[in-house]
Amino acid sequence: MPAKRKTASSAIQSSATIGFEAKLWLTADKLRNNMDAAEYKHVVLGLIFLKYISDTFEEHRAKLLAGEGDYAGANAEDPDEYKAENVFWVPAEARWSHLQASAKLPTIGKIVDDAMVAIERDNPRLKGVLPKDYARPGLDKQRLGELIDVIATIELLGSSEPSPQPSPTGRGRSEAEGEGSQNTHRSVDLLGRVYEYFLTRFASAEGKNGGHFYTPSCVDRLIVEMLAPSKGGRVYDPAFSSGPRLVMAAEFREKHGGNATDISLFGQDAAPTARRFALMNFALRRIEADIGKEHADAFRHDLHPDLRADYVLAGPQFNDSDWFRKDDDVRWQFGVPPKGNANFAWVQHFIHHLAPQGMAGFVLANGSMSSNQSGEGDIRRALIEADLVDCMVALPGQLFYSTQIPVCLWFLTKNKRGTGGSPVSSDHGQAARAPLRDRRKQTLFIDARKLGTLIDRVHRELTDADLEKITGTYHLWRGDPHPTSGHPLPLGEGRGEGNPGYVDVAGFCKSATTAEIAAHGHVLTPGRYVGAEEVEDDGDPFEEKMPRLVAELHAQFAESAKLEAAIRANLKGLGYAL
């Protein structure tokens, strides 16, 4: 009989810019040769997942074979021993050691396909999820073998880093686990990081041809940390892509003293590929989520029609002109969205699924804040008059890998009366939050366009300090402390001298009334409200500064004339007189 399972939290690190992932990417990308990125990602991510489940299997198998403590008398060949600990059973022909030993064989493609089939056969949860076309003629088998060797190095790299999470089984660590088990465990954590990093890089490689706008991890993280999911909360993402926001919501609970099982996760996506990658992503993190039995377009087939979520977070395909609209849809409470743009269809879908105390955070194109075309302005006005808009954030450019469209974040809430803030415990299994201040008829505007750091020539990323500044401002304005610190903003950045409360900061944040928003034609662009950043006075009197600047300009003109004369003389000497 399998031993009783206990729950253990994990704290898997994630970032788009850390450590060895970039080196692995460069090596793996060289092996891509001329294969399209959209095709190659199935090859790579499938192998990473296979390595992950094999490593977790081998880790647990070592404990069962040792048979010490809670594992005394356990049968290492009993699949139930693994299923009881939320570990996938991996048959001998699918274990990584077998694949790596066969990597140089010309039949390696079929060997990998057979491994995928065997895993799906013995683990119904993965049925139809794993890629199984490694034997196809178009895939270079030598390069496939080299890729397997590259992915195998993740375990070796993991041996030099401390393990950031306890045993996934929840059983006490026995002496038999040893250093080898620790190394395996580290490699499991690193595989999760590699998986996320590779998803990001594939989005960049695919560009606009990727079909969907891959939301950068820093933006997803900002949405999650602004909403700060609390214990017992129901979290819903109706366009989850590969599932990063749901994963981050679970990790948020772990990072703030809770557990991934503290919240219930729901979602769906229209793309079958996205669903498969999400299922693998959830398995990598040992996260349970209800994403329905199939892929489905939320407008055509809502897989969770009765769900009323405490938190809705999403990064839908914005400005989508190819979407299905039913004119008498019950979701169109604030107006029928135009057929040519699904932005406000998504907004109303989110609101429809909110619980009475629910909050939503999502990314849309900047046009959603000001457009008056095809009734969009009327819908936006209705949302504002219903007092649903809690916060608007203008984001810097160059964040997205697959589009240069400027974007913003919307944060909606069904309750501004003074409840629904920081997480507290609940006896009723619902999301319980500490009281907030009454902010009815108020909306916070944050202009974050000047934030972010260039990570390469064309891409920008929000840093930890940027995220802290934005989330801290919002939470301080709402009346609750940021989850990680009581007062996250320095004096003068969102709070006054000696005053722990929120204050407006010119050029960055402004708390506006509904009347002010109406005076601006119900436009929600933060730049209209925050004003210009205050420029520090250098203290020089104008009467002294102006003559000095004129003298400097005169000297620069003289230098310019001297250089022009020298250039003309050189050209004349070459026979090209001007």
Instruction: Output the pLDDT for position 500.
Output: 59
Instruction: Look at residue 6 in the predicted model and tell me its pLDDT.
Output: 35
481 — pLDDT class (breaks 50, 70, 90): low
What is the C-alpha to C-alpha distance for residues 279 and 67, in angstroms, rounded to an integer? 32
Highest mean pLDDT: which of 3-12, 53-62, 305-314?
305-314
Amino acid letter for position 433: R
% of residues, the chain, pLDDT over 90:
49
Q: If you average pLDDT over residues 509-531, what whole number do you get?
A: 96
Q: Is the per-residue pLDDT at 325 higher than 90?
A: yes
pLDDT by residue (tens digit) across 500-514?
578 999 999 999 999
Give the pair of three-digit tokens for residue 232. Answer: 């017992």
Give pLDDT, residue 190.
Answer: 56
Can you give the pLDDT at residue 42?
83
Written as one string, the DSSP assignment of 187-216 is HHHHHHHHHHHHHHHHHHHHGGGGSS-PPP
Q: Once rounded to an integer, what is the mean pLDDT over residues 224-252?
A: 92
pLDDT averaged over every residue in the chain: 81
Choose between 311 and 190: higher pLDDT.
311
Looking at the predicted structure, is the pLDDT value of residue 177 above 50?
no
Residue 109 has pLDDT above 50, yes or no: yes
- Distance of alpha carbon 406 from alpha carbon 365, whole angstroms: 6
- 16 — pLDDT class (breaks 50, 70, 90): very low
Q: What is the mean pLDDT of residues 316-325?
A: 89
pLDDT category, 192, cuts 50, 70, 90?
A: low
Radius of gyration of the chain (CA): 28
33-48: pLDDT as tens digits: 777 777 888 888 889 8
Q: Given a cut of 50, is residue 443 above it in pLDDT? A: yes
Mean pLDDT, residues 180-198 taken together: 54
Distance between CA atoms of residues 134 and 132, nearest Å: 6
Burial class (CB in 10 A: 0-12, 13-18, 19+), 174: middle
pLDDT at 306: 96
2 and 85 Cβ atoms separated by less than 8 Å: yes
If pLDDT is split at 50, 70 and 90, which confidence band does 388 have? very high
Instruction: Give residue 433's pLDDT.
Output: 56
Close Cβ partners of 349 (under 8 Å, ≥ 6 residues apart)? 238, 298, 299, 302, 331
C-alpha torsion sign, points 515, 519, 524, 526: negative
The answer on pLDDT for 140 being more than 80 is: yes
Q: What is the pTM assigned to this prediction?
A: 0.76
pLDDT, position 166:
38
Q: Residue 417 CB: number of other CB atoms within 10 A?
A: 15
Q: Residue 28 — very low, low, confident or very high, per pLDDT cuts 50/70/90?
A: confident
d(CA 400, CA 451): 15
pLDDT reported for residue 262: 87
Any idea which of 176-180, 245-249, 299-303, 354-358 has the lowest mean pLDDT?
A: 176-180
Predicted confidence at residue 456, as pLDDT, reads 78
% of the chain residues with pLDDT over 70: 79
Residue 527 has pLDDT above 80, yes or no: yes
* Beta strand extents in 233-301 (DSSP E only): 234-237, 264-267
Residue of higher predicted confidence among 311 and 547: 311
CA distance 40 to 55: 23
pLDDT above 70: residue 186: no
203-218: per-residue pLDDT in tens? 666 654 444 557 888 9
Of 159 and 371, the one with more pLDDT: 371
417 has a pLDDT exceeding 80: yes
Say yes or no to pLDDT of 8 above 50. Answer: no
Confidence tier at 27 by pLDDT (50, 70, 90): confident
317 pLDDT band, cuts 50/70/90, is: confident
How many residues are listed for the chain in this entry? 578
Confidence of residue 52 (pLDDT cuts 50, 70, 90): confident
